[in-house]
A and B are shown apart, each in its own frame.
Chain A
């Protein structure tokens, strides 16, 4: 890649929910770079459409010194190598699996050696890195302050996540996006709202950079790779193998769409069946005692179970980044109730004993859906 002639940026986002946000980021990149005389293009990955709720999707911005260079870089429509990857939800660092195919990819997969991975997060760089797949090559992890934003989705109001990210890009790619140009572009995009300029400056100043060496990260995530059959191994027709009653399809694992997961307090559960009945993905298994246990490999984290559960704090939705695996938790409860309840309280931030009240405070990022505009600065 001719690094001095063109630059490729991708935005990884939660399908549908963050589509407008991703589009705004890509547009702002091209418009800011245009002020320096560069040309560019912004586009979505066609294979992601029609997007499914929460399933990771990508949009791109390619900026080049001139039209010829842009055309040359457009030969590969979905850039296989990018200079910067931007994840607008920190739970995406657990891996990216498109709805159109099987196989989880590390978030840094297309990032070139010594490129950047920007993540919007309320967490520290090391916490995010602890959930990111082991790096194969060095890159810089930049944490842009702010939680997963729903800005641009239906009635959700703007929170300037796009401008904070643009400020961060001005910091790492000054040869393409000058800070003043980013500010001027943000002012135009925000139709003259001066607070946009402050948000760009905030992103520029407050993005924490953490150099990541090859080998850093976690190897704990499940390897989800599928081989495609060649034509010689293809069987005539399409054969869908039946599953035995009660057996789950081992290939149906769309937990990559999850930003939060339900944890269950088995002690307060009244076995009403509501969660089991309303779960759109049939994630609940009935235990011998008649409790309902979540199969985390099948759960996409929609939160309907927590909404329909009539018992307070019995099913609690918890930030996905607090978990490192999809292991079954009912076994732990079965072995040791007290130990399970300690774990439950630590994860859910509520007391396992309903008489006691809250054990701790709910983490600030625990429910981005309920509070889409985060407390990150620069938006006054």
Chain B
């Protein structure tokens, strides 16, 4: 069976950068015109919050950037922002990801298309920085979509796809993009950055409409 592989048109490439997986994700946040992102540092995810903060500082991006007081708040913030119609981004790694579990567990059930990255890190104390996937895999049966990127280019592309797929009304689910800690998050590769026009064509504005959880609530509690 012939598979048609569609590659990017040259006209759809803005620039080519040498970027880490984290920096590529930050570029995706910029291109997707994210409304709210919540940050709390933990290696290796923190590369994204640094790169995104730099884009904001350089005047390249306009986003509500909330530095939370922990991962739990981080994921609560985006969950609630998403529930009122904001396009959101969040992320964490390893044990930080687990600290946010109360919020993570219900995000999929509420059918909120939160896009997160999980900079995959060993669940070990103290300070194991090794890469393993148990942090991402813990949400496997909770309804999160779990793609993994292999290169920094894939990280950027996957992030853009995550909003498009997750926010599609037929899906309406959160997406956690797995990035291997260090090997992908902190190594630099050649990344083709698409133009804003190409991204706008690919990724429609987020329209929450009547959120599924409100519809469900209305069915369960008629008249409320």
User: Could you tell me which A residues sit within 8 Å of B by CB distance?
Assistant: 26-27, 30-31, 34, 39-44, 46, 49, 77
**A–B Cβ pairs within 8 angstroms, 23 of them:** A26-B188, A27-B188, A30-B18, A30-B190, A31-B18, A34-B18, A34-B190, A39-B189, A39-B190, A40-B189, A40-B190, A41-B187, A41-B188, A41-B189, A42-B188, A43-B186, A43-B187, A44-B186, A46-B182, A46-B183, A46-B186, A49-B129, A77-B183
B contact residues around A49 at 8 Å (CB) = 129
- Nearest residue (CB) in B for A77 is B183
B contact residues around A44 at 8 Å (CB) = 186
- Nearest residue (CB) in B for A49 is B129
* CA distance in complex: A44, B129 (Å): 14
Nearest Cβ on chain A to B121's Cβ, whole angstroms: 11
A contact residues around B183 at 8 Å (CB) = 46, 77
* CA distance in complex: A46, B187 (Å): 10
* CA distance in complex: A102, B182 (Å): 23
* CA distance in complex: A2, B80 (Å): 53
Nearest Cβ on chain A to B132's Cβ, whole angstroms: 14
Closest 8 CB pairs of A and B: A43-B187, A46-B182, A42-B188, A41-B189, A39-B190, A41-B187, A30-B18, A27-B18
A contact residues around B182 at 8 Å (CB) = 46
Nearest Cβ on chain B to A50's Cβ, whole angstroms: 9
B contact residues around A77 at 8 Å (CB) = 183
* CA distance in complex: A77, B186 (Å): 12
* CA distance in complex: A139, B116 (Å): 48
B contact residues around A42 at 8 Å (CB) = 18, 187-188
A contact residues around B189 at 8 Å (CB) = 39-41
* CA distance in complex: A51, B147 (Å): 32
* CA distance in complex: A46, B188 (Å): 13
Nearest Cβ on chain B to A21's Cβ, whole angstroms: 16
Nearest Cβ on chain B to A257's Cβ, whole angstroms: 21
A contact residues around B129 at 8 Å (CB) = 46, 49
* CA distance in complex: A26, B20 (Å): 13
- Nearest residue (CB) in B for A26 is B188
* CA distance in complex: A31, B190 (Å): 9
Please classify the interface of chain B as helix (H, G, I), strand (E, B), loop, or mixed, using the class held by over half of its residues. strand
- Nearest residue (CB) in B for A27 is B18
* CA distance in complex: A358, B183 (Å): 53
* CA distance in complex: A267, B35 (Å): 70
- Nearest residue (CB) in A for B16 is A34
Given contacts A42-B18, A46-B129, A49-B129, contact A30 B188 (CB under 8 A): yes
* CA distance in complex: A46, B190 (Å): 20
* CA distance in complex: A229, B25 (Å): 42
A contact residues around B16 at 8 Å (CB) = 34
* CA distance in complex: A201, B189 (Å): 27
- Nearest residue (CB) in B for A23 is B188
Nearest Cβ on chain A to B10's Cβ, whole angstroms: 15
* CA distance in complex: A43, B188 (Å): 6
- Nearest residue (CB) in B for A34 is B190
B contact residues around A34 at 8 Å (CB) = 16, 18, 190
Q: A27-B18, A46-B183, A49-B129 are in contact. List 8 more A-B contacts (CB 8 A).
A: A27-B188, A31-B18, A34-B16, A34-B190, A39-B190, A41-B187, A42-B187, A46-B186
- Nearest residue (CB) in A for B180 is A77
Nearest Cβ on chain A to B92's Cβ, whole angstroms: 19
Nearest Cβ on chain A to B199's Cβ, whole angstroms: 23
* CA distance in complex: A167, B135 (Å): 44
Nearest Cβ on chain B to A305's Cβ, whole angstroms: 32
Nearest Cβ on chain B to A80's Cβ, whole angstroms: 16
- Nearest residue (CB) in B for A30 is B18
A contact residues around B190 at 8 Å (CB) = 30, 34, 39-40
A contact residues around B18 at 8 Å (CB) = 27, 30-31, 34, 42
A contact residues around B186 at 8 Å (CB) = 43-44, 46
* CA distance in complex: A46, B20 (Å): 14
A contact residues around B188 at 8 Å (CB) = 26-27, 30, 41-43
* CB neighbors of A among B178-205 (8 A): 182-183, 186-190
* CA distance in complex: A34, B16 (Å): 10
* CB neighbors of A among B1-26 (8 A): 16, 18
Nearest Cβ on chain B to A298's Cβ, whole angstroms: 26
B contact residues around A39 at 8 Å (CB) = 189-190
Nearest Cβ on chain A to B102's Cβ, whole angstroms: 30
Nearest Cβ on chain B to A274's Cβ, whole angstroms: 35
A contact residues around B187 at 8 Å (CB) = 41-43
- Nearest residue (CB) in A for B188 is A42
* CA distance in complex: A30, B187 (Å): 12
B contact residues around A43 at 8 Å (CB) = 186-188
B contact residues around A30 at 8 Å (CB) = 18, 188, 190
Nearest Cβ on chain A to B202's Cβ, whole angstroms: 23
A26, A30, A39, A43 pick with most chain B CB within 10 angstroms: A43
* CA distance in complex: A56, B182 (Å): 19
